[in-house]
Amino acid sequence: MIPFLLIDHTKLVQTSCVTVPPTLQRRLTEAMTKKGDGETIEGFLSVLLRIKDCDDGLECPLTIDNIKAVILDMFVAGSDTSSAIIEWAISEMMKNPTVMIKAQQEIREHFGSKGYIDETSLQELKYLKAVIKETLRLHPPFPLLLPRECRETCEIKGYTIHAGNKVIVNAWAIGRDPEYWSEPDKFFPERFLDCSIDYKGSNIEYIPFGAGRRICPGISFGVSSIELSLSQLLYHYNWELPSGLTMENLEMTEALSSSSRRKTDLILVPTSCYNHVHAS
């Protein structure tokens, strides 16, 4: 069904990694040149370079190639999936306007007339976090998790899985399993309020990022990016569907691909900008 998942891509990856995007190489060169200029706030790249130059007995020394790989992976692996989740979250809220109102009310009451989102305060936005969790349940970044290889023959519910077999976990189906979720197809963020279920792999009924030793290593970065971007969009603007489109006929079909994306683009109209000055 998905033959490309069963191919060893080692040689292809090694060949592709020889070429580094010019923009990344330029930024790396600039950061190395500016080292020691007394930056008040270190950027992520500056921190990595400082760690590389610090001889503190790291078990695995950090090299320039390692830094290039980390930065490239941060953008390539994180930006596409994060934008897809944000798009789905807004899509679901457009279909469920009461959820949109609650999320905006929480954000605007918390930040008031501040005029911007303070990243350090995002942890206090409980309802926004519930919205994101519910979005991840219905639209996991990768509906089918990366394949695993069975190390030894085992039997699961009458099915024999032999050693060496490839195993692909359907995270999309698990998140909609009626055995674990009431009204599984309903977008209902409240189910995650005052709930201990999290996406860090401890709850097998909810694994949008995988579980175990092979869980996605970029969870914290990805979720933080989603929280910050989504809160900005909800804080500063009110949103409406284009003329002629209603929440009932908003297209919610998923594209047929390895990642969870909408089949059609989400087009919205920012109807007004939130007035921070007069916010209470």
Torsion angle, CA of 183/95/207/128, rounded to 10 degrees? -110
How many whole angstroms separate alpha carbon 257 and alpha carbon 251? 17
Residue 254 has φ and ψ, to the nearest 5°, of -90, 145
| Region for 50 from its dihedrals, namely left if φ exceeds 0, alpha if ψ lies in -120 to 50, beta otherwise | alpha
How many whole angstroms separate alpha carbon 178 and alpha carbon 137? 13
User: Buried b / exposed e across 199-218, counting CB within 10 Å, b at 16+?
Assistant: bebeeeebbbbbbeeeebeb
Query: Is there a binding annotation on residue 216?
Result: yes
Show binding-site residues.
216
Show binding-site residues for heme.
216
